[in-house]
Amino acid sequence: MSQALSLYRKLVSLPGGRWLYGRLICFKAPYFATIRPHFVALEPGHCAVDIHDRRRVHNHIGTVHAIALCNVAELTAGMMTDVSIPSTMRWIPKGMSVEYLAKAVGTMHAVATPERAAVESSNGYEWPALVSVRDDNGQEVFRARIHMWVSPRRGG
């Protein structure tokens, strides 16, 4: 089990545990703090993260900024990948394609799942993650396909 998943499982049942988990992830990867993520679920093959509607994530027309949506998509897909792959492997986003489907207003609910079962290789492999971001009404406002490159961790 990955360290990220082990820590999540320890913290999730504690008061403020989800909040603390989000802060710890942002400490490790500071840029994600710009969206102040709230982890809703984390397990192999599934990650759900909410970002609340606040001025800091707005664009000039008062909706959630496109890059904030990309940010939550990358975080959600990355964490899903991290807890899904063997501990002998590592990952990095290789590319991302996105679609903006509607104005993003209110709390955003991002869910990442793998596009397909992993085809493992000792040399590395691409493993696409799909992310859907919905508003409070359940309308999909954004979707992304993130190409994760999964490869063996370096020895040492």
CATH number, domain containing residue 138: 3.10.129.10
Give Dmax (Cα) for the chain.
Answer: 50
pLDDT digits (tens, 9 = 90+) for 99-151: 999 999 999 999 999 998 877 777 889 999 999 999 999 999 999 999 999 99
First-to-last C-alpha distance (Å) of the chain = 20
3-state SS class at 66: helix
Q: Is the pLDDT of residue 54 over 60?
A: yes
pLDDT digits (tens, 9 = 90+) for 39-51: 999 999 999 999 9
Tally the residues of the chain. Answer: 156
Domain encompassing residue 102: 3-152
Matching residue, tokens 């909040």: 19
Binned at pLDDT 50, 70 and 90, residue 156 comes out as very low
Q: Which letter, b or e, does each residue of 81-114 get, where b requires 16 or more Cβ atoms within 10 Å of its Cβ?
A: bbbbbeeebebeeeebebeeeeebbbebbbbbbb
Strand partners, 38: 50
Provide the pLDDT for residue 55: 87
Provide the pLDDT for residue 56: 87
Count of the separate structural domains present in the chain: 1
